[in-house]
Amino acid sequence: MAKKKPNKVYDLIIIGGGPAAVTAGIYAARKKLDLILLTQKFGGDQLAYTSSINNYPGIKNISSGAEFVSLLREQAKEYKLDIIEGETVAKLSKKGDNFLVKTKKDKEYESRSVIVASGKTPRKLGVPGGEDFESKGVSYCSICDAPLFQDKDVVVVGGGNAGLDSARDLAKYANKIYVLEFGPRIIGDMATQEELKKRGKVEFIVMAQAKEIKGDKFVKALLYEDRNTKEKKELKIQGVFVNVGNVTSTDFIKGFLELNPVKEIIINHKTNQTSIEGVFAAGDCTDVSFKQIIIACGEGAKAALSVNKYLTQNK
């Protein structure tokens, strides 16, 4: 029987293709590490849903997440990063002193260190129109998109703290904000609820299940069911902010790395080291405070510099 060819052993495998992963790649390339970046989708879902980015220092206006992704791609090319796209990592495990990364296409890659930067994906509403109107009035990020709804009527779906934070961001711009909650009461912070009530333009609707988003080129209405009466009701709005949670993309490392209750990778915040020596993590898939591009980039840089130190010390 023919012997299986041994895998090439890289210095570093980066899992992900968002801001954290690409920044880690750039920093690692500058340290001359032999690396590959494996990603399901270059840029990721979150940037794909972003309409514009106005809070990244040094670049005044980025008209869309897609534009930011093409800037990342250009810079990655300059550093000759070896990016393997369309590869979803299925499992990460130890192989002797090294790490073995298996993908859904049944490929195997081996390395001396790993950076996990697999991010998050916003949980979708799962109603007709929900995905069709993404970037056409449906948003998952009020920090980013609230200013686009100046004097408009909007609905926030989700009455938890994230939903209330969205309503607070929107209250600076929008004319009227409905907060739709599936359960019998708004579950977000009482203090924020009181603050929003005082503003006068926020209306809370409980026992309400979003059923459909309607529109033509842009969103025009949201249809919901009153769960008490089963009556269908329609809100005429121009924006829908979905705050029904995020899904952290960490299923492939469950049982290998230590996760917190919301499935974020627990890291040492100084070094980005995870619970396994040699495996580092960065960005939205970790328990870092606040999920923003600039933070993901900073964390990616920290992780790569820590990897370099780790590899130098463990030659």
Residues that bind ligand FAD (CB under 6 A): 15-21, 38-41, 44, 46-47, 49-50, 53, 55, 88-89, 117-120, 122, 139-141, 144, 249, 252, 283-284, 291-294, 296
Q: Would you call 80 helix, strand, or coil by DSSP?
A: coil
Of residues 225 and 287, the one with the C-beta less far from ligand FAD: 287
Of residues 140 and 280, the one with the C-beta less far from ligand FAD: 140
Of residues 144 and 180, the one with the C-beta less far from ligand FAD: 144
CB of 121 to ligand FAD, least distance (A): 7
CB of 99 to ligand FAD, least distance (A): 14
CB of 311 to ligand FAD, least distance (A): 22
The CA-based angle 298-93-85, given to 5 degrees, is: 55
Q: Angle 190-199/161-171 helices, nearest 10 degrees? A: 30
Of residues 14 and 127, the one with the C-beta less far from ligand FAD: 14
Question: Measured between alpha carbons, how far is 75 from 185 in angstroms, rounded to an integer?
Answer: 48
Question: Measured between alpha carbons, how far is 265 from 254 in angstroms, rounded to an integer?
Answer: 9
Of residues 21 and 202, the one with the C-beta less far from ligand FAD: 21
Residue with tokens 């961001």: 169
Alpha helices, H only, the chain: 19-30, 44-48, 65-78, 142-145, 161-171, 190-199, 293-313
Question: Measured between alpha carbons, how far is 292 from 272 in angstroms, rounded to an integer?
Answer: 17
Cβ-contact 37, 28 below 8 angstroms: no
Of residues 206 and 244, the one with the C-beta less far from ligand FAD: 244
Cα–Cα distance list, 287 to 248, 258, 269 (Å): 10, 11, 9
Question: Measured between alpha carbons, how far is 152 from 238 in angstroms, rounded to an integer?
Answer: 6
CB of 252 to ligand FAD, least distance (A): 5
Of residues 193 and 246, the one with the C-beta less far from ligand FAD: 246
Cβ-contact 238, 137 below 8 angstroms: yes
CB of 116 to ligand FAD, least distance (A): 9
CB of 47 to ligand FAD, least distance (A): 5
CB of 312 to ligand FAD, least distance (A): 25
Q: Would you call 179 helix, strand, or coil by DSSP?
A: strand
Q: By CB neighbour count within 10 A (0-12 exposed, 13-18 middle, 19+ buried), where does 65 fall?
A: buried
CB of 305 to ligand FAD, least distance (A): 17
Of residues 21 and 157, the one with the C-beta less far from ligand FAD: 21
**What six digits make up the tokens of 92?**
């990460």
